[in-house]
């Protein structure tokens, strides 16, 4: 054989080995997709991919071809992501409301490959995951202007699901009306109670009557069906597009930096590589019990970013506490901290561990 034939023979053998290794790699990618699907994790992990490239490029001895290898491995990982997107396209995500609601908008951004199923209320969406009807659910837990969504926190306290992610979603409220309607015509606005609260100054300034709806998307649907130029909805621009309404005025929020935090609930809890945690607990009805719990968290070097109390339903003057702390609690010191809290508290629940993310 001449040089060309020898080279082609080597390439054919290597290509066969690469094909076998590629198939093996994609099987591993399938396992990754299954893990991420159960926990609602995003497919693309930029930090992880850069670490893989940096590590693997060291195996290339010939400096001249290292950049070509880096491009090769980047393309391989891109194909792996495409395969994972395909595998995760059937992930079912529950949310409260109807198409166009802020929860629906958030769910699409958090799980872009999901199939989205609407439920009439928070509990129904939550129970859909508990029963196995859906893989994940997206529910609001706090708004920067209107405060916590207590009903969701209470459901999480008593339920079995875990939070695997908290996502901040900017909320821009708009005045939506039927075609041809104008601001001076509007006499009444319909929206979710929190949306009405977020736009309280605008409503007061213009002397508008209000009507509450289950969510902003239902309000928009009601306005569309009423077909009355004197009635408007307060909702997002995406909701306006969904229900064929016109945006009469934009950004009527009382505050411009209005943000809602949405939680991603799953049946499986993340236990490693996280930097934020939510812990729920009750303390004994003794003087200084709460102070002792806070001291334990502080003593182990964890930064507590949130501490709130919620009344326990059915128990007069009894409360549980909602705590957010920064850091990895899967490490030995974190486990020791939890062990001490368990001794002190009547009940303690790690609701979730996650990496804080911001939406668009």
pLDDT of 359 reads: 43
pLDDT of 358 reads: 46
Strand 276-283, strand 303-311: pairing: unpaired
Question: Quick one: DSSP state of residue 161?
Answer: -
- Average pLDDT over the chain, rounded to whole? 89
pLDDT of 145 reads: 65
- 342 pLDDT tier (thresholds 50, 70, 90): very high
Percent of the chain with pLDDT over 70: 97
Q: What is the mean pLDDT of residues 141-150?
A: 78
In this structure, what token pair is assigned to residue 100?
């166009």
pLDDT of 141 reads: 92
- Rg of the Cα atoms in the chain: 26
pLDDT of 146 reads: 66
Q: Residues 79, 25: contact at Cβ < 8 Å?
A: no
pTM: 0.73
Tell me the C-alpha distance between 93 and 218, whole Å.
19
pLDDT of residue 143 exceeding 90? no
Q: Residues 98, 138: contact at Cβ < 8 Å?
A: no
Each residue's pLDDT tens digit, 101-135: 889 999 998 888 888 999 999 999 999 999 999 99
pLDDT of 150 reads: 86
Residue with the bigger pLDDT between 144 and 228: it is 228
In this structure, what token pair is assigned to residue 185?
């015509």
Q: Which residues are CB-contacts of 215 (< 8 A; sequence separation ≥ 6)? A: 96, 97, 98, 101, 102, 103, 192
pLDDT of 83 reads: 83
Tell me the C-alpha distance between 279 and 324, whole Å.
6
pLDDT of 357 reads: 55
Q: In sequence order, what DSSP letters do the residues of 101-149 get, joined into one string?
A: SHHHHHHHHHSTT-EEEEESSHHHHHHHHHTTS-SEEEEEEEETTTEE-
pLDDT of 274 reads: 85
Which structural domains are found in the chain, ordered by start? 3-88 (1.20.59.10), 91-171+257-268 (3.40.190.10), 174-252 (3.40.190.10), 269-360 (3.30.70.260)
Each residue's pLDDT tens digit, 287-307: 888 999 999 999 999 999 999
Q: Which residue has the tokens 């079995």?
A: 160
Strand 174-177, strand 246-249: pairing: antiparallel
- 81 pLDDT tier (thresholds 50, 70, 90): confident
Strand 136-143, strand 92-96: pairing: parallel
pLDDT of 43 reads: 78
């Amino acid at each position: 054989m001449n040089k060309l034939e020898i080279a082609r023979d080597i390439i054919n053998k290597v290509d066969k080995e690469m094909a076998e290794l590629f198939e093996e790699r994609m099987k591993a990618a399938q396992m990754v997709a299954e893990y991420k699907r159960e926990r609602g994790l995003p497919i693309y992990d930029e930090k992880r991919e850069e670490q893989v490239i940096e590590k693997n490029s060291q195996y290339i001895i010939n400096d001249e071809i290292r950049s070509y290898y880096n491009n090769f491995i980047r393309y391989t990982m891109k194909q792996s992501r495409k395969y994972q997107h395909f595998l995760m396209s059937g992930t079912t995500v529950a949310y409260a409301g109807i198409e166009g609601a802020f929860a629906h908008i958030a769910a699409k951004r958090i799980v872009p490959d999901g199939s989205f199923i609407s439920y009439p209320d928070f509990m129904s969406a939550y129970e859909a995951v508990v029963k196995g009807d859906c893989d994940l659910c997206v529910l609001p837990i706090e708004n920067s202007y209107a405060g916590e969504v207590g009903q969701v926190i209470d459901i999480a306290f008593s339920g079995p699901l875990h939070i695997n992610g908290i996502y901040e979603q900017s909320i821009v409220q708009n005045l939506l009306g039927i075609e041809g309607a104008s601001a001076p015509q509007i006499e009444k606005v319909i929206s979710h109670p929190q949306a009405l609260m977020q736009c309280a100054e605008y409503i007061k300034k213009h002397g508008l009557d209000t009507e509450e709806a289950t969510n902003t998307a239902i309000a928009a649907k009601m306005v569309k069906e009423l077909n009355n130029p004197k009635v408007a909805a307060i909702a997002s621009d995406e909701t306006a597009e969904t229900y064929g309404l016109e945006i009469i005025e934009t950004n009527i929020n009382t505050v411009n930096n209005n943000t809602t935090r949405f939680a991603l609930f799953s049946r499986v809890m993340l236990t490693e590589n996280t930097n934020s945690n939510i812990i729920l607990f009750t303390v004994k009805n003794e003087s200084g019990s709460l102070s002792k719990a806070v001291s334990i968290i502080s003593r182990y070097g964890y930064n507590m970013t949130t501490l709130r109390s919620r009344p326990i339903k059915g128990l007069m003057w009894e409360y549980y506490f909602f705590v957010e702390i920064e850091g990895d609690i899967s490490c030995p010191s974190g486990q020791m901290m939890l062990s001490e809290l368990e001794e002190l508290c009547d009940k303690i629940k790690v609701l979730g561990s996650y990496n804080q993310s911001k939406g668009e």
